[in-house]
Amino acid sequence: MCGIAGYFSLKSDVNENVLSSMAESLFHRGPDHQGIWIANGSKIGFAHTRLSILDTSSAGHQPMSSFSGRFIICFNGEIYNHIELRKRLADSGHSISYKSLSDTETILCCFEIWGIKKTIQETVGMFAFAVFDYKDNKLILGRDRFGEKPLYYGWQGHYFYFASELKAIRKHPSFQPQLDHDALHQYMQYAYIPAPLSIYKGIQKLHPGNLLSISLNETVGNMRMESYWDLSEIASNAQQMQFSGSDYDALVELERMLIQSVKVQQLSDVPLGAFLSGGIDSSLIVALMQSQSSRPVNTFTIGFKEDAYNEAKFASEVASHLGTNHNEIYVGANDVMDVIPSLPQLYDEPFADSSQLPTYLVSRLARQHVTVSLSGDAGDEIFGGYNRYMQAGRFNKYPGFLRKSIAKIILQFTPAQLDLAYNLIKPMLPGSLRSSNPGNHMVKIASIISLDSDWEIYQKLVSVGSSENLLSGGTAIRSDSKKYFDTLKPGADFASRMMLTDSLTYLPDDILCKVDRAAMGVSLETRVPFLDHRLIDFAWTLPLNMKIRDGKGKWILRQLLYKYVPENLIERPKMGFGLPIDSWLRGPLRDWAEDLLNEKDISDSGYLNAVEVKRIWNEHQAGKKNLQFKLWNILMFRAWQKHWI
């Protein structure tokens, strides 16, 4: 994996020292080599930091030129089918004398022969890249289909900037960071900043599946956006050609495609392993890896002393059954406190998914043994794994007056009181109705069952809270995700609309962002076998009852996993990858939080309403409500603000 950066100037020549500074800020993404390229005419330049994975020799260094010299590329990612692409070029009569075994050189050769768009459409992989085309005097930026790899870009004054991370853009002496209030409002609602926004005005995230081109012959602001792959279109078309085979047929095809994806994603010239939580997704990926290996696969997990959050014991059981070389460590509040100060530097913009902490810790553990780690991410969005997909369809089946009456009764109690009541009846409940965090779940459900439209319900389910009364400037804007939610034809089931919207928003901007920054912060490459686009195409043709059945999500994944792992090792309430933030904020994290939430400092620094912040903090401390998610949002913004502003 790598880091890329660069800029185009309409005013002055590109400065090599500035490019070097941009590259140095991305050293963690690529500690093995740093490269600089400046075009003839000196108006555009690239910076690259390399983490060597395929062809670790100097022949794979970047920026890299194509064989004719037409294209210069600065590439971050992996092309898993690059050997196949070389074979296709040879079979079509193109005799190419390659200088390296790297996938970067492969796609450069394909650019020369097929063009950029066709090449990218033929790739299987994850990437973000910048290409300069000498012939057309044009800069082209590209990002993979799902947004596994980050790419920021934008004009400011006479300069156009791009980089893997915002910290590299900030290194340019002419860049003026101005906070975007619209982005801050959306952050407070979702705990992340949805694309195309970034925390800075004028700087955007390139949407997944898109190419952006800029002619260097034109003036400020010229940009042409082109989609080369559209998940909304894939999902819509799949509705018209649903899989018509049996459950068995679907299982056979799913296993074939997942085995293929896991196999190509194990292509590496450096040590490789996998994250293992003991849940369905990571267990299946590890099982398929182990089935293809004659040696124990390296697996990694993090454990917590609090039972309600600890999945390490389940991961250990799965690892033992599969025979992996399992590595685990148990951490507590002190370990987390050691990581928290680094979060603003890791994430560059406010980001408040608290699972960023265990993700960083498990990445750090893995990096002590391997350079590449596979993960089970994206299984929930693709195969219907989140609890909300099962819950939401039940909410609007009952009359509004009944739902509102039930909600009113539930909201009279605190989460702690609801936990006590739940524990009394838990032994009588079926497994599908058991929860590891019942009080909070009931309060959240109560807050949404009185809503009228599917869209309102979905927004409530995915929102941490509202920015209303919390921010002192700007006004809330409507999320772009509404257009994704409305993509599927009228009458499409609620769960499928949520899955599509999550795949286009929450997955790239929260889940994949979280994993990329946490892992690259320790120079670890992560790969996501569930995001092979051929598998996605197939998954969207499956009827919903192959994903959600008998009140459980990921039905088809479960059936496949049971071929490799006994059911009793897997079936348990979904826990997620969280932390006991609620209790820690009342205990070991309290002093740190109170320092950030100092009323005078908040008033003086602007942006937040100090009175509202104090109210939220006091309510949480009193135990009246569990407001950990709102508080983590506020705390991560304040930590970011103190670091960067």
The model's pLDDT over 98-156, given as tens digits with 9 standing for 90+, comes to 898 899 999 999 999 999 999 999 999 999 999 999 999 999 999 999 999 999 999 99
Q: Taking the CA atoms of 99, 103, 104 and 105 in sequence, report the sign of the dihedral they define.
A: positive
Average pLDDT value for residue range 75-90: 96
How far is the CA of 455 from the CAs of 179, 459, 483, 486, in angstroms? 29, 6, 11, 9
CB 367 within 8 A of CB 266: no
Q: Residue 163 domain-assigned?
A: yes
Total Cβ atoms within 10 A of residue 222: 13
Do 256 and 152 lie in one domain? The reply is: no
pLDDT classification of 321: cutoffs 50, 70, 90: very high
Tell me the three state secondary structure of residue 97: coil
pLDDT of residue 445: 77
* Mean pLDDT (whole number) for 15-42: 94
Distance CA 340, CA 335 (A): 9
Of the chain, the percentage scoring pLDDT greater than 90 comes to: 70
Q: Of 329, 413, 390, 359, which is closest to residue 547 (Cα–Cα)?
A: 390
Which residue's structure tokens are 């095809």? 253
Mean pLDDT value of segment 337-352: 95
Choice between 413 and 629, residue whose per-residue pLDDT is larger: 629
Q: Are residues 68 and 136 in the same domain?
A: yes
Query: Is the domain of 375 the same as that of 260?
Result: yes
Q: At what angle do helices 181-190 and 628-644 cross, to 10 degrees?
A: 150
Q: What is the pTM of this model?
A: 0.93
Q: What is the 3-state secondary structure (H, E, C) of 40-79?
A: CCCCEEEEEEECCCCCCCHHHCCCEECCCCCEEEEEEEEE
Task: Say how far apart CA 210 and CA 226 lie, in whole Å.
Answer: 6
Q: Which of 502, 536, 569 is the last residue of a domain?
A: 569
pLDDT for the residue 177:
96
Kindly report the backbone phi and psi dihedral angles of residue 223, in degrees, each rounded to the nearest multiple of 5, phi listed first.
Answer: -150, 140
pLDDT band at 467 (very low <50, low <70, confident <90, very high): confident
pLDDT at res. 576 = 56
Q: What is the pLDDT of residues 251-285, one digit of tens each?
A: 999 999 999 999 999 988 889 999 999 999 999 99
Say if 240 falls within a structural domain: no
Q: Based on the domain organization, do 546 and 589 belong to the same domain?
A: no
**The pLDDT of residue 343 is above 80:** yes
pLDDT at position 426 over 80: no
Task: Tell me: pLDDT of 360 over 70.
Answer: yes
Q: Is residue 66 part of a domain?
A: yes
Of the residues 539, 569, 599, which one is the last residue of a structural domain?
Answer: 569
Considering the domain architecture, whether residues 58 and 103 belong to the same structural domain is answered as: yes
Q: How many residues does the chain have?
A: 645
Same domain membership, residue 206 and residue 100: yes
Least confident of 45-49, 50-54, 313-317, 366-370: 50-54
462 touches 502 (CB < 8 A): yes
Q: For position 476, what pLDDT does the model report?
A: 59
DSSP-based three-state secondary structure for 82: helix
Model confidence at 637: pLDDT above 60: yes
d(C-alpha 468, C-alpha 584), whole Å: 26
Whether residue 461 is contained in a domain is answered as no
Q: Is the Cβ–Cβ distance between 59 and 102 less than 8 Å?
A: yes
Residue 222 structure tokens: 């010229």
Give how far Cα 105 sits from Cα of 20, 40, 66, 74, 121, Å. Answer: 23, 21, 7, 11, 17
Q: Does the pLDDT at position 575 exceed 60?
A: no
CATH number at residue 555: 3.40.50.620
DSSP string, 561-621: HTTTS-GGGT-S----S---HHHHHTTTTHHHHHHHT-HHHHHHH-SB-HHHHHHHHHHHH
Q: Are 630 and 352 in contact (CB under 8 A)?
A: no
Query: Which domain range does residue 273 map to?
Result: 250-383+515-569
Report the candidate in 469, 447, 472 with the shortest Cα–Cα distance to residue 457: 447
Q: How many domains does the chain have?
A: 3
**208 and 60: one domain?**
yes
Tell the residue number behind the tokens 């994903």, with chain if given: 547
Same domain, 162 and 68: yes
Query: Do 163 and 258 belong to one domain?
Result: no
Asked whether residue 456 is domain-assigned, the answer is no
Report which of residues 62 and 573 the model is more confident about: 62
Per DSSP, the three-state class of 532 is coil
Q: Which two tokens stand for residue 358?
A: 């265990």
Structure token pair of residue 61: 């260094």
The alpha carbon of 472 is separated from its chain's Cα centroid by a whole number of angstroms, namely: 29
> Is the same domain home to 277 and 144?
no
Of 530, 240, 526, the residue nearest 384 (C-alpha): 530
Nearest-CA neighbor of 71 among 137, 147, 145?
Answer: 137
Average pLDDT over the chain reads: 91
Q: Show the tokens assigned to 617.
A: 């903090």
Same domain, 24 and 139: yes
Mark whether 188 and 315 lie in a shared domain: no
Omega of the bond leading into 208 within 30 degrees of 0 (cis): no
Instruction: State the angle between helix axes of 247-265 and 280-291 in degrees (0 to 180), rounded to the nearest 10.
Output: 70
- Determine whether 332 is exposed, middle or buried from the number of CB atoms within 10 Å of its CB (0-12, 13-18, 19+): middle
Averaged pLDDT for residues 292-296: 94
HEC profile of 498-559: HHHHHHHCHHHHHHHHHHHHHHHCCCCEEECHHHCHHHHHHHHHCCHHHCCECCECCHHHHH
State the Cα–Cα distance between residues 528 and 6, nearest whole angstrom: 27
Q: What is the full DSSP assignment across 360-415? A: HHHHHHHHTT-SEEE--TTHHHHHT-SHHHHHHHHHTTS-HHHHHHHHHHHTTS-H
- Residue 434 — pLDDT band, cuts 50, 70, 90? low
Q: What is the 3-state secondary structure (H, E, C) of 461-473?
A: HHCCCCCCCCECC
Secondary structure in 3-state letters for 200-262: ECCCEECCCCEEEEEECCCCCCCCEEEECCCHHHHHHHHHHCCCCCCHHHHHHHHHHHHHHHH
451 is a domain residue: no
The residue type found at 426 is K
Cα(469)–Cα(477) distance, integer angstroms: 14
| Domain boundary, last residue among 506, 538, 569 | 569
Q: Are strands 525-527 and 372-374 parallel, antiparallel or unpaired?
A: parallel
Q: Is the pLDDT of residue 189 over 60?
A: yes
CA neighbor of 419 nearest in space, from 393, 406, 397, 438: 438
Decide if 237 is inside a domain: no
* 114 inside domain: yes
